[in-house]
A and B are shown apart, each in its own frame.
Chain A
């Protein structure tokens, strides 16, 4: 069984740039959720994709957007990067729409300078 993978591991961007983060879900899982974790805080929900459709969104601005592909992998795109976007971005996969166990990938550490 293949676990959740994310790429890249680390990324440094300049304020105003755009970034794309990628996630492959655990085999057999059809749902991907994205979270942002600032230092010393718990992860904050960005959005979830279920069968290629957005299935809920947290309190994040529209410059955070995403996609899910037919193989259930997913992308998180962030436009017009701000310094406060510096964080660990986590992808979690699960089976089904809601309430189930979510398994996290290793994360992408984004630094915005």
Chain B
């Protein structure tokens, strides 16, 4: 099974900061990676799919990059509504999904 490792597990940042979250796959997954945002008590929300494609309606301050085993989610200028937990998800095989353990973005 493909394992997904996110880092860091948490990050403290201020409004306006640039925040970068990384996700590493235990084997190559091409560009079959998504990023989700989840706020407390709410369902996850798709931000980025296919490693770098921005989901409709998602602000352009969110961007994704990478392929193979190493991927990055970047928030270019953190906004108050961006404080949440972020998950990566691999879908290299159409037979199984795997999520990373999550990265909590907290107010500094």
A and B interact: no
A interface residues with partner B (beta carbon < 8 Å): none
B interface residues with partner A (beta carbon < 8 Å): none
